[in-house]
Structure 1
Amino acid sequence: MISQDGINLAVCVITAHFGDLVSKVCGCLLRRGSLSLQDIVRSTEFSSSQVKNCLLVLIQHNCVQAFCVPRGGAGGATKTVTQYMALFDNILHRMRFSKFLAIVKGDLGGQCETLLQGLLRYGRLTFDQLMVRATSTQSEGSSCNVDALRKNFGKLVHGHYVERCPRPEPFIAPSEEAAPARKRSSKFREEILTLEQQAVIAASLTDAERFSEIPNTGTDTSVTEDKLDVTVGDKRKFEAAELDEDIEATISETEVLWRANFQKFVFCLKKKVCVEKVRSRNGLDAGVVLEAIIESSEQECDSRVYKDIELNGCIHLCVITIRPEFHFLAVRASMDSILEKVRGKPDGISMTLELVRGILEQLDCSSHTEDCNVYYTIELQRIIESCRNVEVESLILARYGKDAFRIFGLLIGKGSPVETDQISDFTLVDKKVTQQVLYNLWKDDYLSMQKVTLEGTGQRKDSFLWKLKKNSAWHLVLNHLYHAALNLNQKITHIVEQEYEVLLSEEKLKQLKKSRMILELSLLKLDDAIMIFHDFSA
């Protein structure tokens, strides 16, 4: 469930990028859920053509997903109705485009960054459209090689930074509630999916489809002997096959839509956060080893959660992730691949096997032997939990003071409830102050309280046990972060509007640009914290 602060932030982002009309349509979908075109028209009081144009903009930029559902009509007839749902996470990703571009530039170079920039700026594009925009951005003195652009685009697809767009309007059949439940394996738990979750699953493509590269139709002078060695009777079949490949490639270039793969970028950003956390806590060598484990993790599917799901009468074994980001709880790699990655890094060239093994033990990696190879597994979610604790404690320190910071730090590390006197003794905080701090945190829904009555020697004494409400606390902190990001976005928008004033002096304009840059950097840092609580969750 998206909080009101999160909805307001998403609407603010859409307003800054596409204007008031589009943001009102998007806000309507965020607040009311999936709606049909007629429902949106009634809610916004816009004309049908205005709503259609707004929806086209949002779909083009991957902020809305359309899907079809059956609905009863007059006389018992069933008709198909298209509904639209807002993709909250994709909207927030628009604040992170600069981070995505920096990742691709560092990994694949400037030309790949230029191609990705076209997809981020213009939304879904065919290969031909992307090439046209890439060539149009070239300076007059520079030459643009189409083959080089095709090669760089292939790098983006191969690296999973770019993917084919999901199905545009998947059909969601009604679930048969009265039907007897199918028998499931004990490792799979029955889960009722919402209509929106079913739409995301139905629209998603397999990995083979998402990252299927466009065949290269350019003329190649190096013809293999296998192609030349054909008999006269097979010549016509061979030419027909070649023609079919050319036609298929042309269709792929002119009809298949591509978009940025946000899952991959969230994967990269989560890896960066984990490595930086380990580096600051355990040293530079530990950061190098952790990065090597993640990069050499052989099978991406080992880090996903799979469940058996029935959709449209078929059983699908699919990843349970409603949001578009890529989630990974743990990664696994063999010692040989870890060493190869470590020694391929500048800071890991001189690291010995014993040093790497010692760091793996220091990071609490579990190990097991498989096919004569030793594999190490590390739970990255524990590192993210540590990052969340730091963020929450800093917020508690700023809002409630040092005494609350010490008390909250104690309760974070305790899994069981703690009595008031014990909290006071452990933290060396006066009992009256402790009681007041605990009451304030309980009132703001950070803590749970349990009253117990102790009896002894003819006396009864009431005691209070306190425990951290982790999910509630994380939700509160995330809402605070949303609200702060909303304020920064509004301030940035206000400064941008001031920059367009004609009568501004040059000195005033420089001051406004400097203020905007400071606010934008602050927003990027604040967004890092938002991702820790929202995008990196399990």
Structure 2
Amino acid sequence: MADAQTANLCTQIILSQFGPLTAKVASILLTRGRLTLSRIVHLTSLKPRTVSASILVLVQHNVLWHAKSGEGEVFEVNIEECLVRLRFGRFVWQAGQLFGDEGAQIVQLVLDHGKLRPPDIISELSYGDAKLEAVYTQAIHSLVTASYLKPSTILSHISPRDKRIRYENEEKAKINGFPTAKELREARETAEARLKREEEEAEKVGLKRKAKEQNGPRSKRKVVEEEDVVDPTVYFRVNCEKFNIHIRNTLVTKAAKERYNEGAAVVLQATLKVTESKQKNVSDVRTEPVSVSNIAVSLSDQEGLASGLVLKTKNPSNTACIKDYLGMLSSADNPTMAGRASAFISFGGSKVQVEFETICKRLRRRVLESVTRERHGTEGVRILRLLMDTGKMDEKQISKVVMVPPKDVRPLLALMSAESLISSQEVAKSSDRNPSRMFYLWHVDLPKAYSVILGNLYKTLYNIGVRRQVEQEEPMLRAVLEKRERTDVSQDEQGLMSRLELDMIKEWEGKQEKLTVLEMRVEESVFILRDLAVFEY
């Protein structure tokens, strides 16, 4: 069951992509939690056949989980899978950058259908052309090998929370007597390891070994070799985690460019590129160690690295420039706690590792500070940074340190507390807990602050979708768009449409572009707060 803002946004996404009937079924599941088919039919007042078809569509597109319970088979909305649909356009673009037009077409087709088998993908895109079949077969093999497509199994349709609870109960049943805290912790760890092992084994289903016969060059005997081929009987779906890695790496590179310069961003991007194949998901604490020579090889054709540095030598080598940039990114000139907290990489000896945990915490804090600056100005940011660095403080201490008069600090603290950017802690002077005899200490509750900001971002995304829908449903514009879709008009828009109609379409496209750009910016903040929230606060 989701909160109001998340439920509204998910319903709006499903409405725009699957229609009103499917959105009605999803809305009931989002507000009521997991339900059986009979309960969904009763609450939606739809025909059982319509509800079954809607559920089938949502399961096909991985938006619904289903599981067995005492009441029968129950259904539950996979909220993360629903929200990630806002990034599908970016996934297709990224696939095109990595695997060309063929990879983009395959990813788009799989996203349109939820999950597909390789023969179905090839037959849909090749139109019976043998050359195109070979090209798309190779593209599918590359996508599966690089884990951009992953197999869809029965386990992927069951909520991980249900499997985790079941595995924990099985481990607890093996304990004799009253379990201790250590035994309960070991049971949870064993259940988590079992769940992770099952997921890794399920992802290996898509490839199988096949014998390949080749004639030896100097022998008449046939040499039998084995190669990995894509299993044609397995259904594949898009691995969103793999595409999220590219979004995270782009944000990290962008942060380095804003902090230092273009050269530092290029070196950091090359470091990430070298280890990209070994990055599995956004929960990686850091990258695999990579040597400076590997980074230098990937930047061998890069020119102008020295332009971002002030050096004594006139023509320094690329390797020397890379080492200087790595020293900057690792905060080698500031070997303190503050320096390590602001570093992008750890550079020890000749090995380099990008510290995702440190960077992601800093990115999330930057979002919190930007929201505070927008609503409460620089004084609010100074108070926020003070409380995050020092912990709990009372009003008089805050006023003295941030150098703001008490008469201005008091209302500002109240406003920031009302928006959950900061929180208060009551400390009683006496046992009767009289409000007049209490200390009130202010502090930053990061989980609460991030949760409230994330809810506001969901509300903004929902409002953007509603605004787009309202703009498109305007009667005159709708008539013009319907005329534009006619076959004869689409072939000659300039000749068969009036100047007024063309101006209306141009104005509407401009509004759509602005709303899309705004949606991408808000979604980027959502990615930082939700998808990068895999580390401790």
Query: Where does residue 512 of structure 2 map in the other structure?
Result: 516
Task: Give, in whole Å, the separation in 1 of the partners of 2:301 and 2:68.
Answer: 50
Q: CA deviation at 1:534?
A: 0.6
Matched, 1:259 2:237: yes
Matched residue, 1:156: 143
Alpha-carbon distance in structure 1 between the residues aligned to 2:185 and 2:454: 29
Q: Aligned pair 1:482/2:474, yes or no?
A: no
Partner residue in 1 for 2:339: none
Q: Name 1:525's counterpart in structure 2.
A: 521
Asked whether the 8 Å contact 1:120–1:260 carries over to 2, the reply is yes
Q: Give the aligned residue type for 1:59.
A: V
Shift of 1:279: 1.9
Q: Secondary structure at the match of 2:391?
A: coil
Secondary structure of 1:330's aligned partner: coil
Shift of 1:52: 1.5
Residue of structure 1 in register with 2:362 after alignment: 386
Any conservation in 2 of the 1:332–1:375 contact (CA below 8 Å)? no
Structure 1 letter corresponding to 2:153: P
Instruction: Mark the CA change 1:249 to 1:85 in structure 2 (over 3 Å): closer, same or farther.
Output: same
Letter of the 1:147 counterpart: A
Secondary structure of the 2:257 match is helix
Say which is worse superposed, 91-100 or 390-399, in terms of deviation: 390-399
Q: Deviations over 1:477-524 (max 9, x none)?
A: 101100000000111122233343248833222211211111111101
Q: Does 1:467 align with 2:443?
A: yes
Task: Report the Cα distance in structure 2 between the residues aligned to 1:335 and 1:68, rounded to whole angstroms.
Answer: 50
CA contact (8 A) 1:452 1:464 kept: yes
Structural mapping, 1:243-322, within 5 Å: 252-253=231-232, 255-297=233-275, 300=278
| Contact preservation (8 Å) 1:160, 1:211 | no
CA gap of 1:513–1:199, structure 2 versus 1, over 3 A, is: farther
The farther-off stretch of 504-513 and 11-20 is 504-513
Shift of 1:249: 7.5
What is the match of residue 468 of structure 2? 492
Shift of 1:425: 2.8
Q: 1:437-448 alignment to 2 at 5 Å?
A: 437-448=412-423
CA–CA distance in structure 2, aligned partners of residues 368 and 512 of structure 1: 55
1:350-499 to 2 correspondence within 5 Å? 350-352=318-320, 354-355=323-324, 357-362=326-331, 363=343, 365-366=345-346, 374-412=350-388, 414-451=389-426, 464-498=440-474, 499=477
- Between 489-498 and 54-63, report the one with greater CA deviation: 489-498
Aligned to 2:309: none
CA contact (8 A) 2:450 2:529 kept: yes
Q: Tell me the alpha carbon deviations over residues 436-468 of structure 1, each in whole angstroms, 9 at most, x when there is no partner.
A: 11122223332222355899xxxx996542111
Match of residue 77 from structure 1: none
Matched, 1:17 2:17: yes
1:449–1:465 Cα contact (<8 Å) kept: yes
CA offsets 1:27-46 (integer angstroms, 9 cap, x no match): 22223333332232233232
Between the aligned partners of 1:126 and 1:326, the Cα distance in structure 2 is 27
Whole-angstrom CA distance in 2 between matches of 1:102 and 1:153: 16
CA distance in 1, matches of 2:141, 2:277: 21
**Partners of 2:301 and 2:211 in 1: CA distance:** 33
Q: C-alpha deviations, 1:151-210, integer Å up to 9, x for none? A: 1121212222111113266696684597253899979935769x9x99987984526515
Structure 1: 5+ residue stretches without partners? 73-80, 232-237, 304-324
1:295 offset after TM fit, Å? Answer: 3.3
Is the CA contact 1:154–1:213 (under 8 Å) kept in the aligned structure 2?
Answer: no
Spell out, residue by residue over 1:333-383, the C-alpha distance to the aligned partner (whole angstroms, 9 max, x if none). Answer: 1325653565257366824264255235323644667xxxx5444431222
Paired residue for 1:316?
Answer: none
Question: Where do 1:26-425 residues align within 5 Å?
Answer: 26-69=26-69, 71=70, 81-136=72-127, 145-167=132-154, 175=169, 179-181=173-175, 189-190=185-186, 204=199, 206=201, 209=204, 212=207, 223-224=215-216, 229=221, 252-253=231-232, 255-297=233-275, 300=278, 326-336=282-292, 338-340=294-296, 342-343=298-299, 346=302, 350-352=318-320, 354-355=323-324, 357-362=326-331, 363=343, 365-366=345-346, 374-412=350-388, 414-425=389-400
The verdict on how the C-alpha distance between 1:286 and 1:51 changes in structure 2, with shifts beyond 3 A counting, is same
Task: Output the aligned Cα RMSD.
Answer: 4.0
1:68 is paired with a residue of what secondary structure?
Answer: strand
| Alpha-carbon separation, structure 2, partners of 1:376 and 1:285 | 17
Alpha-carbon distance in 1 for matches of 2:272, 2:118 = 31
SS in 1 for 2:283: coil
Q: How many residues align?
A: 475
Amino acid at match of 1:229: R
SS of the equivalent of 1:294 reads helix
Question: d(CA) in 1 for partners of 2:302 and 2:202?
Answer: 33
Instruction: In structure 2, give the amino acid aligned to 1:355.
Output: D
Deviation of residue 401 (structure 1)?
Answer: 3.9
Using the TM superposition, give the Cα deviation of residue 275 of structure 1 relative to its aligned residue in structure 2, in angstroms: 1.4
Alpha-carbon displacement from aligned partner over 1:39-94 (angstroms, at most 9, x marks no partner):
3223323222212211111122121233334x38xxxxxxxx43322211111121
Provide the rounded CA distance (Å) in 2 between the counterparts of 1:184 and 1:164.
Answer: 39
Structure 2: distance between partners of 1:360 and 1:344 = 20
* Fraction of identical pairs, as percent: 20
Give the letter aligned to residue 173 of structure 2: A
TM-score of the superposition, structure 2-length normalised? 0.76
SS at match of 1:125: coil
Query: With CA pairs under 8 Å and 6+ residues apart, which has the higher RCO, 1 or 2?
Result: 1
Task: Name the aligned partner's letter for residue 267 of structure 1.
Answer: I
Compared CA separation, residues 44 and 213, structure 1 to 2 (3 A): farther
Q: Which AA in structure 2 matches 1:26? A: A
Change in 2 beyond 3 A, CA 1:367/1:515: closer
Q: Secondary structure of 1:46's partner?
A: coil
> Aligned in 2, Cα 1:284/1:470: closer, same or farther, shift over 3 Å?
same
Q: Which runs of 5+ in 2 are unaligned?
A: 306-316, 332-342, 431-435, 484-499
Partner AA of 2:260 in structure 1: N
Q: d(CA) in 1 for partners of 2:7 and 2:377?
A: 30
Structure 2 residue identity aligned to 1:485: L
* Superimposed CA distance per residue, residues 245-299 of structure 1 (whole angstroms, 9 cap, x where no aligned partner): 9xx979x32x311111101011111111111112211223332333333333489
